[in-house]
Copies of this chain bind each other. A is one copy, B any other.
Amino acid sequence: MTNLKELLQKQRDFVQIRQWDKFGSPKNLSMALAVEAAELMEEFMWLTDEQIESLASKHPERFQNVKEELADVLLYLLRIADKMQIDLLKSADEKIKKNETKHPVQQSIELAAKYS
């Protein structure tokens, strides 16, 4: 099974052998990431939550698109983190901790109740 590190190495090889690295500034890559995130939204935007839930069974080709858009987001995310020499897993781990402090449990439950 692939892990995140192996995936990054494959993506590095893919880019390097094509000599595409010169286009891959963090700025350009952040645009590409946002474009892929938008393409994911595009799959969902005219559907209801119920239609999205049955996407895999009723529209397998659209479900396949969703998979590929998620993959594209991850691949660009890995490249940006790599370029910036950021440990993505460590950053995410720290961010969860920060979020836990920022959003105390009881207060968050009450906020959720208010919006429901």
A interface residue numbers (CB < 8 A to B): 1-4, 7, 10-11, 14, 17-20, 22-23, 25-28, 30-35, 37-47, 49, 51-52, 55-56, 63, 66-68, 70-75, 77, 80-81, 84-86, 88-96, 98-100, 103, 105, 108-109, 112-113, 115-116
Contacts and interface: CB of A to CB of B under 8 A. Distances in A.
State the majority secondary structure of interface residues on A.
helix
A72 B52 contact: no
Contacts of A89: 1-4, 7
B20 A108 contact: yes
Contact of A77 (B14, B43, B70, B113): B70
| Total copies of the chain | 4
B75 A96 contact: yes
A31 B33 contact: no
A92 B1 CA distance: 12
B38 A7 contact: no
13 contacts: A2-B92, A10-B93, A14-B99, A22-B112, A26-B49, A27-B44, A27-B49, A28-B46, A32-B45, A33-B40, A40-B80, A67-B86, A70-B84
